[in-house]
Amino acid sequence: MGTATEAITAPIPATHDRWHPSTAGWVARLTVLVLIFGGVLWVTAIVPQYWADRISLAVIYCIIGLSLNVVLGYVGQVSLGHHAFVGIAAFVAAFYVTEQAGCTAELGCPFDHFLAGIGLGVLSGGVAALLLGLVALRIRGLYLALITLTYGFMAERSIFEIPSLTRGGAGMPAPRPDGILGLNFTSDRGFAFLTFVFLALVLFVDWRLLRSKVGRAILSIKHSEPVAASYGINVTAYKLLAFILSGMFAGLAGGLMAFRATTVVSNDFNFSIALLWVLMVVVGGLGNRTGVVVISAFFALFPFLPELWTAADRFVVDTLERSMSLVTIVFGALLALLTIIQFPGGFAEQVSPITRWLRGQKFSMHPEGEGGHSKGHDKSKSDKGGGLLAKLGLHRGEHDEPAEEADEPEGKN
C-alpha cells in the first residue's frame, strides 16, 4: 500500500473526452432544424388566411404554455388562475390603444401604439402576478391551487365586468397594428408572422433564464425547498420572481390575443380555458420547453382539425352534439391521465432521443447515450417519489429524489 504522499502526487488518470459530433453531424442537425422551422413558416405563408389566423392562435398558446411552464415546470407550483393574467393584459392593451391612443379599425393603429399596448399588457400581467404572489407563494400544493383558482374567479366576476373595460359587455376593440417596412400586419397572415417574432423572444428569455444563476436557484426550489434554503437561497423571493416572469409572459400572450381577436370580451377568459392551459403543459412535459410548445400548438389547433375530415366533423356536430371546445377539454384530460400514469415526462419524454440528438448528443433511446439508464437513476426510488404529482407539489414521498430536467440546463446542451 502506497503512502499518503505517493497517493497525492500520483498522476490523475486521464478521463475520456466528451463526445462531439463531426462537422457532417452538425450540418445534418442544422439541416433538420432549418427544415422544421422553415416548414412551419412555409406552411404559414401558403395556407388560406383563416388558417393563418388559427396558426397565430397556436403561437399565442405556445407563449401561454411557456408562461405556465415557468410556474409548473420550473418551480413546481400549481396555478389555476392564469386566465386572469391573460385577460387583464388583453383588456389593458385594448383599452390603451382604443381609449388612450385613439386607434380605430378605420384609422388604423400605428405600430408604436401597438408596441406600447403590448408593453402595458406585459406590465399588467407582471403586476397582477406580483400581487397574487405576495399573498399566495408562502404556501404550496393544493392550497396554492385553491388560492389561484379563487383569484381567477374573482377576476371573472369583477375585473372582467368593469363597464369601462368591456363597454357594457360589447367588448373593447383592439385594431391590429399598421405595417412597417412594407409589412402588412392587419392581415391574418401578416399578424401570424408577427406572433412568431414574439414567440422567438420568449423562447430566448426562457433559454437564458435556465442558464443563469437565477434559473438554477429556481430549479433547486422545485427539487427541495429545505435544501435550497440551506444553501442560502431565498425561497420565497425566487418563487415570487418566477411568478412575476410567468405573469409577464402571460401578459404578452394576452396583448397578442387582444389584437388577434380585434375585440376583447370577457367570455374568452374563463376557468375552462385555464384548465386547458394547465393540461397542455402537463401533457407536453413539465420543465421542457420543446414539449410544451408542440403540445400547446396542438391543443390550439385541435378544435379545427375535424374540418379537415368531413366524417369527423359530422360525428362531433350531429352524433355527439357537443362543441369542439368541450371535446378538447375531455380529450386533454384523458391525455393528462395517460401522461400521469404511463409517461410522467409527457410528450417531451417520447421525443427526447430526437431533441438530444439535435442538441449535439449521440442518438440513443437512453439519456446517457450508452444504451443504459442515466447515472444514478433508480426506478424504484423514482416510483416512491410521487412522479409527476411530486413535481406539481401535490405529493411528496419520503424518499424523493431531485427530478431530472428534461431540458438539461446544466451544460447538457
Can you give the pLDDT at residue 308?
76
User: What pLDDT score was predicted for residue 388?
Assistant: 53
Residues 403, 377: Cα–Cα separation, whole Å = 10
Tell me which of 28 and 411 has the higher pLDDT.
28
* Residue 289 exposure: Cα atoms within 13 Å on the Cβ side: 18
User: Which cell goes with 263?
Assistant: 375585440
Return the exposure string of 296-330: e unless at least 16 CB atoms fall within 10 Å of the residue's CB, then b.
bbbbbebbeebeeeeeeeeebeeeeeeebeeebbe
Round to the nearest angstrom and report the end-to-end CA distance of the chain.
42
- Comparing 130 with 371, the larger pLDDT belongs to 130
Residue 259 pLDDT exceeds 70: yes
pLDDT tens per residue across span 43-92: 999 999 999 999 999 999 999 999 999 999 898 888 888 999 999 999 99
Residue 40 included in any domain: no
Nearest to 333 by CA among 272, 383, 388, 290: 272
Whether pLDDT at 261 is above 60: yes
On the question of pLDDT at 224 being above 50, the answer is yes
pLDDT for the residue numbered 397: 42
Alpha helices in 285-404 (DSSP H): 289-301, 310-314, 324-341, 346-350, 352-358, 379-384, 387-391
How many domains, in total, are found in the chain?
1
Average pLDDT of span 293-312:
86
Q: Which is more confidently placed, 8 or 350? A: 350
- The answer for residues whose C-beta is within 8 angstroms of residue 343's C-beta and 6 or more apart is 349, 350
At residue 331, the 3 state secondary structure works out as helix
pLDDT of residue 61: 96
108 φ/ψ angles, rounded to the nearest 5 degrees = 90, -175
Average per-residue pLDDT in the chain?
A: 81
Residue 96's pLDDT band (boundaries 50, 70, 90)?
A: very high
Give the pLDDT of residue 368. Answer: 56
Residue 198: give the domain boundaries. Answer: 45-368+377-391
CA distance 91 to 409: 36
Between these two residues, 196 and 108, which has the higher pLDDT value?
Answer: 196
pLDDT of residue 387: 52
Mean pLDDT of 353-379: 63
Q: What CATH number should be reported for the domain holding residue 264? A: 1.10.3470
DSSP-derived 3-state class of residue 172: strand
- Note the pTM of the prediction, 2 decimals: 0.83
Rounded mean pLDDT, 291-309 = 89
DSSP 392-413: TTS---TT--PPPPTT-TTT--
At 396 the pLDDT is 45
For residue 392, what are the CA distances in angstroms to 76, 114, 163, 396? 5, 36, 37, 9
Mean pLDDT value across residues 219-241: 85
**291 lies in some domain:** yes
Look at 284 and 398; give whichever has higher pLDDT. 284
- Look at residue 1 and tell me whether its pLDDT is greater than 80: no
When pLDDT is cut at 50, 70 and 90, the band that residue 118 belongs to is very high
Contact 380, 262 (CB under 8 A): no
Higher pLDDT residue, 262 or 3? Answer: 262
Of residues 183 and 243, which shows the higher confidence score?
Answer: 243
Confidence band, pLDDT 50/70/90 cuts, at residue 381? very low
User: Does residue 142 form part of some domain?
Assistant: yes
In the predicted model, is pLDDT for residue 42 greater than 90?
A: yes
- Cα-trace Rg, the chain: 23
Q: What does the buried/exposed string (b/e) look like for 260-282 if buried means 16 or more CB atoms within 10 Å of the residue's CB?
A: bbebbbbebbeeebbbbbbbbbb
Q: 190 exposed, middle or buried (CB, 10 Å; 0-12, 13-18, 19+)? A: middle
How many angstroms separate the CA atoms of 96 and 253, rounded? Answer: 16
Q: Which residue has the higher pLDDT, 407 or 221?
A: 221
Query: Residue 314 to residues 306, 307, 308, 310, 346: CA-CA distances in angstroms?
Result: 8, 9, 11, 6, 31
Per-residue pLDDT for 377 more than 90?
no
Residue 292 pLDDT > 90, yes or no?
yes
Please report the pLDDT score of residue 404 as a whole number.
41
Query: Could you tell me if residue 7 is inside a domain?
Result: no
What residue type is assigned to position 59 of the chain? V
Q: Please, how many CA atoms are within 13 Å of residue 244, restricted to the half-sphere of its CB?
A: 12
Q: Which of 102, 294, 297 is nearest to 192 (CA)?
A: 297
**pLDDT > 90 fraction of the chain, expressed in percent and rounded:** 34
Selected residue with higher pLDDT from 311 and 217: 217
396 belongs to a structural domain:
no
Is residue 1, in this structure, part of any structural domain at all? Answer: no
What is the model's pLDDT at position 158?
Answer: 87
Domain-located, residue 249: yes
Is residue 400 in a domain? no
Query: Is the pLDDT reported for residue 206 higher than 90?
Result: yes
**Span 138-175, pLDDT tens digits:** 777 778 888 888 888 888 888 888 888 888 778 899 99
**Residue found under cell 386547458:** 276
Kindly state the average pLDDT of the residues 218-239.
Answer: 85
